[in-house]
Structure 1
Amino acid sequence: MEHAFPCGNPALDFVGTLRARRNAEPLEKLGSPRSLDAWFRESGVTDTDPGSRLPDLAAALELREAIYALVAARLTHHDADVGALTVVNEFAARPPVVTQLSADGRHLEATPAQALSSVARAAVEILGGPDADLLKECGRPECTQVYLDHSRGSRREWCAMATCGNKMKAAAYRARRRGNPPLAPARQA
């Protein structure tokens, strides 16, 4: 598998294809039309490669950044960017992925535009619904993955335990072993 899907939501996982956004050189996971097709297939948006080309990749990056701008505005309690709203709504208004029934079961087939429409629709569902209040950004400083916190008490700190959670816990353990415990909130007596 070429891509990671820690969020379980196509729109948020799509935003995560630009890793470590705040680093001087973020890691771009959608560097070619082929990697975009792989993302569509691996995410389950489609069952086959839609045959993306360079203009489709440019459109995908535009949609990804628009979704991120809206998510970031929501996380920081700022007004939504009108341009980002327009981009997401334009993509969401296009025909979605076609679901077909075959002798083998359900089959998802799409053009790149249809696949992007499905991602935009997932973003609309999150940002326009009750799940918007559950949005969080990963607590690992190098990670900028956004996820929905469905944990009890809304105490989830990382996008995924298998990646960022393990790294943060290991770093905290090493710091304690060195006699350098991580900072904790002051307790009141």
Structure 2
Amino acid sequence: MAVKAEIRDGFKFRGGSPALDLAATVVGRLGATPRDLLATPADLDRWLVAAELAEGPPGSTEGNLVQARSLREALYRLGLSRAQGVALPDVDRDLLNGYAALPAASLQLDTDGRARLSGDVRGLLAELAREGVSLLGGDFWHRIRQCEGPPCAVLFVDTSRKGDRRWCSMSACGNKAKVAEWRKRERG
């Protein structure tokens, strides 16, 4: 089984869940000048393809972009609540449930034997919402973490055996932390 790249078409896929990967489409979320990677409908199309939810650009509209951003922010706040062990915000829970109740893209077995989603952007967002509900309310809700690498805000599912993973990616934030710790020891 091939390992998928952590960065595809300029988007980070380090969350272990498409729902958390959508939440990672704001760069520098904790900084003074966060940057939205979903700036246009074409960006949303690119993300859906990079996330392997669509074969090709599904034709996102401005309305779809607004929906995706609201879903993203609800998923981020709900995931952060799980990571911090606090109550889930009712407004975000209701919004997520509303998207999850919409008709989702259908899963179909393609001629090449692979499972693929088929549907419009709204259906793909509904599928993402269902993924979020399954994650946030399923068996791994207690394994949702926020990366400890400053200033990273990426949320991820900790699938390590001990449940003590600290970084969204060992090759990115984990490596930076280890290098910084090594330099600190060398100076001290």
TM over 0.5: yes
Q: Which residue of 2 aligns with 1:34?
A: 42
Check whether the contact 2:100–2:130 (CA below 8 A) recurs between aligned residues: yes
Tell me if 1:153 matches 2:168.
Answer: no
CA distance in 1, matches of 2:112, 2:136: 35
Q: Which residue of 1 aligns with 2:82?
A: 74
Per-residue displacement from partner, 1:36-86 (whole Å, max 9, x unpaired)?
A: 111111111222211101111111000011111212222233222111111
CA distance in 2, matches of 1:28, 1:52: 16
Change (3 A) 1:170 1:49: same
Q: Which has the larger radius of gyration?
A: 1
Match of 1:115 among 109, 116, 124: 124
Q: Which residue of 1 aligns with 2:29?
A: 21
CA distance in 2, matches of 1:101, 1:121: 20
Tell me if 1:137 matches 2:142.
Answer: no
Give aligned-pair identity as a percent.
36
Query: What RMSD in Å do the two structures reach over aligned CA positions?
Result: 1.5
Check whether the contact 1:15–1:68 (CA below 8 A) recurs between aligned residues: yes
| Structure 2 unaligned residues grouped into runs of 5+ | 1-8
SS of the residue corresponding to residue 105 of structure 1 reads coil
| Structure 1 unaligned residues grouped into runs of 5+ | 180-189
Using the TM superposition, name which of 161-170 and 120-129 deviates more.
161-170
Amino acid at match of 2:29: R
Check whether the contact 1:45–1:118 (CA below 8 A) recurs between aligned residues: no
SS of the residue corresponding to residue 12 of structure 2 reads coil
Pairing of 1:178-189 with structure 2 (within 5 A): 178-179=187-188
Q: Which residue of 2 aligns with 1:105?
A: 113
CA positional deviation for 1:146: 0.7
Per-residue displacement from partner, 1:98-134 (whole Å, max 9, x unpaired)?
A: 2334433334332110111111111100111121011
CA distance in 1, matches of 2:159, 2:112: 34
CA distance in 2, matches of 1:77, 1:101: 38
Name the TM-score, length of structure 1 as normaliser.
0.88
Q: Which residue of 2 aligns with 1:177?
A: 186
Change (3 A) 1:148 1:101: closer
Per-residue displacement from partner, 1:124-156 (whole Å, max 9, x unpaired)?
A: 001111210111110102101111111121121
Using the TM superposition, name which of 91-100 and 102-111 deviates more.
102-111
Check whether the contact 2:83–2:143 (CA below 8 A) recurs between aligned residues: no
CA distance in 2, matches of 1:156, 1:55: 37
